[in-house]
Structure 1
């Protein structure tokens, strides 16, 4: 499968955000307060986190000095910085929070599309391109949208927008090992995923001895840590690939806690 173009990821991020917006736009206040699978986070916390991160990303694109101040605050409180941002937004009236999220993501969309070709945008990890920033935002929007849908009892059918998340999950293989303090495998991996449309998405050399196969949806659930490996139809061939499925993580930051298997007590 050819790599997605920068324009396609901007369009897909917008579509993913609009689809989640449709889910929450008409909710009453009591439903914004529903608990989601993320411990301590309500529907409002999930949307507030997206709005907060969109604002951070906008600063990174348009105001490097302002973003540097955010990084300093994050370094001063690494264990609570993200939760504090979500908590602050979750205390807002739902209509005000929704308006903030809409305004912020629209401004970020415009800024990313206007970024000069080859521009490197600072972030909490290594600098990234505008397309990579949009991919990270799409990943978070999809993942937090799953938590919102779970709380509301809503089903969101998977789309081929997952191709961006799947590619990111494959490209962050080494990062997942480093952040979990596990040696990075020397050999390349092969990943073959069945897309929602029925297309086959492939990454890595065809003759790689270490392989992962299965549904693209399940792979994306795994690398965003929205489901436990035990509940997913992913198959690993080779010990290194098998270990990777236990630690896969496409998002920045320390190792995620993951989600318990469905059969585990909560």
Structure 2
């Protein structure tokens, strides 16, 4: 992706859609639990604000960002949750205002950054497009958690194209993080966009294939739904294996969500993750 402007524009639109969902919440609603165990709506927005700040820092003050990475290395299992907890303790108006300010500041930094710039991150360095794609992916995924808490079903849009592409590009990471041999050949992936357009990736004659709705694929790779609840079809053993382990976010294997038919009382694993970015360090 030579020009990162389209994904930056879509990140802004996705953020504004989530903003409309939380702008008029009561203090009690901010405390509603989301599918992430122990996380309320306030935690979700606090996490997005914190990660937007980290992204902006990585792009503008690399010394300060290096100090943040050092903190993460000291407490690798807690630093993401700690940032969410700290933000969630703020009054709702401060939390919402802080998130708006952070994402606006990041938007300006992304638009001013060189197209082929490289910036440090918690994993490999990121390009401008990679950083924007990662923020879009997280905003969409955590927005789903907020919507779930409010009993709202978001309308999918073709902004999912960026997440779908990232999901395809992180195939090898998913195999590697599970200690599995990476497939040698490319897969064919055919996804039907919300608009009805067909998005295709990989060679048409590939033996391993994945087909289905783009929404379902994005829910799978962000681990917001269990594979058994999604209308995705795999052809070939490696494609079948991939759909059982796919994840678009960096870090160790995620616990994912239980199937909707899970026994009563079984809760979802906490779907928090390191400040997300393409594990390969490149989305653009």
User: TM bucket by the smaller chain?
Assistant: over 0.9
Q: Which residue is 2:68 aligned to?
A: 70
Q: 2: distance between equivalents of 1:176 and 1:44?
A: 30
Work out whether residues 147 and 153 of structure 2, in 8 Å CA contact, stay in contact via their aligned partners in 1: yes
Shift of 1:254: 1.1
Work out whether residues 211 and 233 of structure 2, in 8 Å CA contact, stay in contact via their aligned partners in 1: yes
Q: 1: distance between equivalents of 2:80 and 2:27?
A: 23
Work out whether residues 4 and 164 of structure 1, in 8 Å CA contact, stay in contact via their aligned partners in 2: no
Shift of 1:117: 2.7
Task: Give the structure-1-normalised TM-score.
Answer: 0.98
Query: Of the candidates 161, 164, 170, which is equivalent to residue 163 of structure 1?
Result: 161
Work out whether residues 192 and 199 of structure 2, in 8 Å CA contact, stay in contact via their aligned partners in 1: yes
Shift of 1:13: 0.1
Q: 1: distance between equivalents of 2:68 and 2:5?
A: 28
Q: Which residue is 2:28 aligned to?
A: 30
Q: 2: distance between equivalents of 1:69 and 1:254?
A: 22
Distance 1:4 1:21, change over 3 A: farther
Larger RCO, structures 1/2 (Cα 8 Å, 6+ apart): 2
Task: Give the structure-2-normalised TM-score.
Answer: 0.92
Give SS of 2:115's match: coil
Q: Which residue is 1:225 aligned to?
A: 223
Q: 1: distance between equivalents of 2:97 and 2:177?
A: 35
Shift of 1:4: 8.6
Q: 2: distance between equivalents of 1:231 and 1:182?
A: 25
Unaligned runs of 5+ in 1: none
Q: Which residue is 1:124 aligned to?
A: 122
Distance 1:4 1:159, change over 3 A: farther
Give SS of 1:183's match: coil
Q: Which residue is 1:45 aligned to?
A: 43
Q: Which residue is 1:257 aligned to?
A: 255
Q: Which residue is 1:152 aligned to?
A: 150
Equivalenced residue count is 264
Shift of 1:84: 0.4
Q: Does 1:115 align with 2:113?
A: yes
